Amino acid sequence: MKKTITILLAIAFVTTAAMSSFGATAMEDEAQAVRNYLNVVDAKLAKAKKANQSAKVNQLHAEKAATLARWNKLKASKVVAPAPIIVNPAPVVIINPPAKAGRGVGIYVNGGLDAGLLGFAGNLDYDLSGVLTQGLSARVGLNYVSGTNPNGNDSMKAVSAKLGAVYYVTPYLPNMGLPLTWYVGGAYLLPVKVNAGRTGKWGAEAYVGANYNVPEMGTVNFELGYSGLKYADSQPALKGLDLKIGYGMIF
């Protein structure tokens, strides 16, 4: 009968341990079952000691130790590590740095409105940061303009050489989170070919511009300004708005 009770208690203990995965309540039930079983073992030990049953005492001590060892192992396996705290890092916005003034030589080709007429320009900028001041570049190039001068109704085509400068003012204008570099500039214009061959006279242009850097591709260039060109004594000067877009490379 005693052996039967022992087996039943052991079965109850194993069954309780198998249900431990169902949460904290199951663990508490298991703990109570173990305590109940150990109380029975302790009662048997007291009875065996009183009867001087040494072999029985040793057996019950071993049984109690084994039960405690199994219980401790089970508790250790049920310890749930605290969930790691995952901190989502703030998104990193990478903006390609704008093309810098002062990287040697820049070559640009653009087109659009030149003094209000159709025009194209080719410019070469040479950095003077190491010679004069940071952000300053000399500009040489050619302008081509074609159309009817609205001030004299004169149909004309003109090619002008230019000599001027640009100064990068990026720190003073917003880049709107884009890889932009801003500049202001101006140039003296010298007509070298007008219509069938008239040359001479003079002109000037002033503008504000921006370079949008496209990584590994180059620079998209925008310019907004005003220019005038006196190309003949018999005709009034051509004057008007400049609005151009183009492409460039900085070396």
Do 84 and 229 form a contact (C-beta atoms < 8 A)? no
Do 198 and 116 form a contact (C-beta atoms < 8 A)? no
> In terms of Cα–Cα distance, which of 48, 38, 39, 27 is closest to 68?
38
Residue 231 in any domain: the answer is yes
Residue 131 in any domain: the answer is yes
Token pair, residue 167, equals 């100064």
Residue 13 in any domain: the answer is yes
Residue 99 in any domain: the answer is no
One domain, residues 124 and 165? yes
Last residue of a domain, one of 78, 113, 146: 78
Contacts by residues 3-12 (CB-CB < 8 Å, ≥ 24 positions apart)? 5/40, 9/36, 9/37, 9/40, 10/37, 12/37
Token pair, residue 23, equals 């949460």
One domain, residues 134 and 72? no
One domain, residues 62 and 171? no
Token pair, residue 157, equals 């085509």
Residue 95 in any domain: the answer is no
- Please give the radius of gyration of the chain, using alpha carbons only, rounded to the nearest integer: 46
Measured CA to CA in angstroms, residue 208 lies from 9, 54, 171, 223 at distances of 93, 106, 14, 6
One domain, residues 109 and 180? yes
One domain, residues 154 and 52? no
One domain, residues 51 and 174? no
Q: Strands 117-127, 202-214: parallel, antiparallel or unpaired by DSSP?
A: unpaired
> In terms of Cα–Cα distance, which of 64, 82, 67 is closest to 30?
67
User: Residue 74 and residue 198: Cα distance in Å, rounded?
Assistant: 104
Residue 88 in any domain: the answer is no
Tens of pLDDT, residues 37-77: 878 878 877 776 777 766 666 677 777 777 787 778 777 77
| Half-sphere exposure (Cβ direction) of 130: Cα atoms closer than 13 Å | 6
pLDDT of residue 199: 72
Last residue of a domain, one of 18, 43, 78: 78
Residue 198 lies in domain: 105-250
One domain, residues 199 and 127? yes
Do 147 and 155 form a contact (C-beta atoms < 8 A)? yes
pLDDT tens for the chain, residues 1 to 251? 555 555 555 555 555 554 544 445 666 777 777 778 878 878 877 776 777 766 666 677 777 777 787 778 777 776 655 666 776 666 655 444 444 444 589 999 999 999 999 999 999 999 998 787 888 999 999 999 999 999 888 898 999 999 999 999 977 777 677 788 899 999 999 999 998 787 778 999 999 999 998 888 889 999 999 999 998 888 899 999 999 999 999 88
Number of domains in the chain: 2
Residue 190 in any domain: the answer is yes
One domain, residues 189 and 235? yes
One domain, residues 159 and 43? no
One domain, residues 175 and 126? yes
One domain, residues 60 and 119? no
Residue 100 in any domain: the answer is no
One domain, residues 114 and 54? no
Give just the sign of the alpha carbon dihedral 164, 219, 217, 133.
positive
User: Residue 113 and residue 222: Cα distance in Å, rounded?
Assistant: 12
Compute φ and ψ for 40, nearest 5 degrees. -65, -45
The overall average pLDDT reported for the chain is 80
Widest CA span of the chain, in angstroms? Answer: 141
Dihedral over alpha carbons 46, 52, 56, 57 (to 10 degrees): 50
Do 213 and 249 form a contact (C-beta atoms < 8 A)? no
